[in-house]
DNA sequence: ATTTATTACGAAACCGTTGTAGTTTTGAAT
DNA sequence: ATTCAAAACTACAACGGTTTCGTAATAAAT
């Protein structure tokens, strides 16, 4: 800008104001400056601007892993609205580690972000790192994996209902001994999905037996934990006739495991799971799946966050948006030999 | 920092230097300052620092879509090294649109990035936007989809060889009329894979017939283009007995299409494709796939870029790293009724 | 006691913008 | 001709750090 001012025989202030279209500058001068700037294709330094007005126009996103069907779709949603509103997104993966999540947060705040989108790791039980941040005035929006201790906008799916519906489907389809493999009990999504599962069993007069409920503390990140959960289920005196898996990674790993073990789905054991893969239809067998509106979740989360970030007044009233899932019934849960 | 200086009765310079561990500051004063800073948990404003030394410690990534098995794995790789070296990644999706790619680039440079990682869109034929950027001194590294016109570090897989091996496998397996559905001919990956395909045919005395080669100008982003390519193939006087698909999206879409159409794989038609989905093994049927070292590609690209960014001297010598793929042979390409 | 190094610290410029508070110019009204 | 307001432009501080250069204090050497 200094150079422009010099070249045009004007002051730096004039150039700055012309570019910001200030009323103080005459049309002729503006045109002169704008034209010159075009020609030189100069772009103002956003860092200087950020420094000046204390906004970085970027938002942080903390989640377990980019490389995951569900979250990559969420990211796509976040990106779509962030992009349209001129925000960059800075992604940090916690890889389901609490320690890493702490580092991420520390890193992100030392990066000057205007707001933060968070889905906590499976290991996270202590939320002070987030609460502290919020106290310092950083707008935070939680998505997917919520935490009660933090009061802010939250975007979730109706986990209980989704899980309930899914389980009811299994029961209606004739399965009697249904196992549930879910993620870490630390997570809201796990407890809610488990609650929906239990509710369906109870309402249909089926026993709720803890032996048939398995937790994967790393959310299926470690294949072993899924494998051992299944193995334990299969070794029960009365093995389950259906498995309901509560997350993307667990679902796909279970499918792989059963396939490798030569266990026929649904003849030997039925399988239904949460997953957002577009391939559910063409899996072997086609998989009954509960899909989440991941893209929309990302969009809403970003929208709500940017709302907070750009709000003139401190926001005190927060809302929790609840999205609905879809149950896609396919061959993996069809009892008997009737195939499509 | 001003507050710290005031609180401790020191000058701002002293505080700054102490925090940067300058030799000019005595151990006692350093300790005093560091302790106080810890207690107040102050973090230096990175924007101010960026402004001072002209580095933003962030790198831009331009690719078609986050929400894609292959690219999300690449991103994971990029993130892993960027993170470890203290860089943020700023992702921009071009959604296979040239126009969008231009906007992305414009947006990114107005964002102050230290370097750029690019995999061009299917539509991109003109590379001046990138060349201009490079001329202005921005380090660029290309990955996956390369462009000859740009002289810089590049990371690719051995597309020709991968495709050649795959095709040879099909031929050895007994298929005679092999179709190839690939992405836009604008892309290096398309032409190279096509070349490998043709090479294998020629070497095995099979005719190369353009009727069996179909291009999807949007890389399979639009399901329709894949569907119509397949339909055209099936409507040929002599339909192919095998299809070789050259990208993730095309592969999965083809599988879906054939399944929906009730066409049996591999009995009616065999299918082999590039894809990085972990689900290939559990698809219906298990899919013969060519997988790419996506994570490694991301890592290398980020490494090479950061090397350029941090290089003291302008780099003139560039290299192209070529990675190898893996061919996983599965049921979808097994001739006859011999299943595993 | 004086000079000379050495160590520890501080003042101020700088990075590239923006906004406040002047200052000059213009032109109209008195 | 004088006054005054509005319009057009400029100087300068500020944003929050880093760094160069200068200076005071201390220690060592003469």
A325 versus B108: which is more confidently predicted? A325
First-to-last alpha carbon distance for chain A, in angstroms, is 69
Residue located via tokens 């020609």: A39
Strand-pairing partners, residue B289, are B273, B328
Q: Is A177 on the interface with B (CB under 8 A)?
A: no
| Alpha-carbon distances of A8 from A24, A25, A42, B279, rounded to whole Å | 17, 14, 14, 62
Rounded to an integer, the average pLDDT of A202-208 is 97
- CB contact, 8 Å: B296 with chain A? no
Q: Closest Cα of chain B to A309: distance in Å?
A: 18
Residues 17-46, chain B, CB closer than 7 Å to nucleic strand C: 24-29
Of residues A50, A90, A283, nearest to B90 (C-beta): A90
Name the residue among A286, A256, A288 with its Cα closest to residue A275: A288
Residue A134 in contact with partner chain B when CB distance is under 8 A? no
Q: Is the CB of B162 under 7 A from strand C?
A: no
Distance A19 CA to C29 C1' (A): 34
DSSP string, A267-289: TT-EEEEE---TTGGGBSSPPEE
Residue B288: band (very low, low, confident or very high) from pLDDT cuts 50, 70, 90? very high
**Residues of chain A neighbouring B50 (CB-CB closer than 8 A):** 47
Close Cβ partners of A137 (under 8 Å, ≥ 6 residues apart): none
Residue-wise pLDDT for A288-297, tens only, equals 999 999 999 9
Q: How confident is the model at residue A336 (pLDDT cuts 50, 70, 90)?
A: low
The answer to whether residue B340 scores a pLDDT higher than 90 is no
Nearest Cα residue in chain A from B42: A110
CB B138 within 8 A of CB B112: no
Q: How confident is the model at residue B286 (pLDDT cuts 50, 70, 90)?
A: very high
Residues A245-281: b if buried by 16+ CB within 10 A, e if exposed: bbbbbbbbbbbbbbbeeeeebbeebbbbbbbbbbbbb
Protein-contacted bases of chain C (C-beta within 7 A): 7-12, 14-22
pTM, two decimals, is 0.94
Task: Give tens-digit pLDDT for A15-44.
Answer: 999 999 999 999 999 999 999 999 998 999
Tell me which long-range contacts A333-336 makes (C-beta under 8 A, separation of at least 24): A333/A169, A333/A170, A333/A173, A333/A175, A333/A242, A333/A266, A333/A270, A333/A271, A333/A272, A333/A288, A334/A173, A334/A266, A334/A270, A335/A173, A335/A174, A335/A175, A335/A266, A335/A270, A336/A174
Cβ neighbours of residue A237 closer than 8 Å, sequence gap 6 or more? none
* pLDDT of B339 above 60: no
* Nearest residue: Cα versus C1' of D15: A52
């Amino acid at each position: 800008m200094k150079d422009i001012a010099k070249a045009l025989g004007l002051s730096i202030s004039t150039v700055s104001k012309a570019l910001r279209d200030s009323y103080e500058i005459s049309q002729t001068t503006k045109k002169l400056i704008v034209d010159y700037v075009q020609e030189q294709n100069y772009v103002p330094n956003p860092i200087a601007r950020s420094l000046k007005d204390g906004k970085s126009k970027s938002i942080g996103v903390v989640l377990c892993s980019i490389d995951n069907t569900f979250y990559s779709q969420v990211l796509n949603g976040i990106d779509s609205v962030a992009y349209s509103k001129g925000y960059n997104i800075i992604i940090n993966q916690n890889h389901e580690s609490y320690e890493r999540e702490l580092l991420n947060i520390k890193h992100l705040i030392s990066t000057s972000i205007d707001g933060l989108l968070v889905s906590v790791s499976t290991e996270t039980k202590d939320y002070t790192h987030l609460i502290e941040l919020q106290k310092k005035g950083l707008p935070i929006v939680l998505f997917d994996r919520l935490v009660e201790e933090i009061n802010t906008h939250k975007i979730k799916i109706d986990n209980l209902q989704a899980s309930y519906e899914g389980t009811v489907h299994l029961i209606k389809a004739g399965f009697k001994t249904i196992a549930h493999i879910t993620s870490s009990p630390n997570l809201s999504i796990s407890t809610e999905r488990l609650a929906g599962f239990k509710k369906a069993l109870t309402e249909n007069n089926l026993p709720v037996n803890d032996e048939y409920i398995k937790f994967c503390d790393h959310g299926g990140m470690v294949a072993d934990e899924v494998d051992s959960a299944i193995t334990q289920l299969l070794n029960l005196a009365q093995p389950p006739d259906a498995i309901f898996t509560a997350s993307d990674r667990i679902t796909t790993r279970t499918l792989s495991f059963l396939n490798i073990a030569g266990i026929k789905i649904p003849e030997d054991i039925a399988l239904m799971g949460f997953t957002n893969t577009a391939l559910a239809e063409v899996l072997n067998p086609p998989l009954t799946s509960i899909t989440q509106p991941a893209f929309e979740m990302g969009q809403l989360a970003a929208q709500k966050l940017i709302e907070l970030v750009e709000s003139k007044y401190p926001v005190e009233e927060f809302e929790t948006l609840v999205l609905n899932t879809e149950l896609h019934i396919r061959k993996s849960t069809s009892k008997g030999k009737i195939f499509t």
